[in-house]
Amino acid sequence: MNLSQTASLANQMKERDRDMVPRFLVIAMFALMAASLALVSFAKLTGMPPTAIASLPEIVAERTVTFAGDRSSGIILLDESGAQIASSSENKAGFIDVVWVAVMRERKVQGTDATAPIRIVRRIGGRVDVIDDTTGWTLELIGYGKDNVAAFATLID
């Protein structure tokens, strides 16, 4: 390929690229972004309360548990009396370790008590959540897989 053919191809590519996304669509996209930013800014500056927030289903069962252990020996869950009710080293219960890491990180960030209990709750419809009242952190156990949800759901039954 010689130099004149290369220059010709470059000109063709410039023309093709201009036609791929029409200019008015690019302008419309940026106008929509600016309008969204303006609306959110207005709502924040005027102190408008949040609207259209879905309410949580009612809690039908719950259990308070405490984490103990460490990552090298495994994490265990203790009930209110201090008896072990689950362990991350049990078959298909490694998700307990994952939740422990998330809870401990949030507690460290917020500077709260690392030994405080958490709540495992079942809501109407069967949804299971892990709630840390000391930080306000909640983990909705949706989409984590049957075995991972079961690691906590079986503790309520």
- pLDDT for residue 3: 59
Tokens matching residue 128: 């299971």
What are 110-128's pLDDT values in tens digits? 999 999 999 999 999 888 9
What are 68-86's pLDDT values in tens digits? 988 888 889 999 998 988 8
| CA 125 distance to own-chain centroid | 21
Query: In whole angstroms, how far apart are CA 122 and each of 101, 129, 157?
Result: 22, 7, 9
- Confidence (pTM): 0.66
* Distance between CA atoms of residues 58 and 126, nearest Å: 10
Entry field: residues in the chain: 157
Note whether 94 and 88 are within 8 A (CB).
yes
DSSP designation for 22: -
Tokens matching residue 2: 């010689």
Which of these, 5, 126, 4, 146, lies nearest to 60 by C-alpha position? 126
* Distance between CA atoms of residues 152 and 157, nearest Å: 10
Q: Which residue has the higher pLDDT, 4 or 10?
A: 10
Kind and range of the H or E run holding 110: helix 95-110
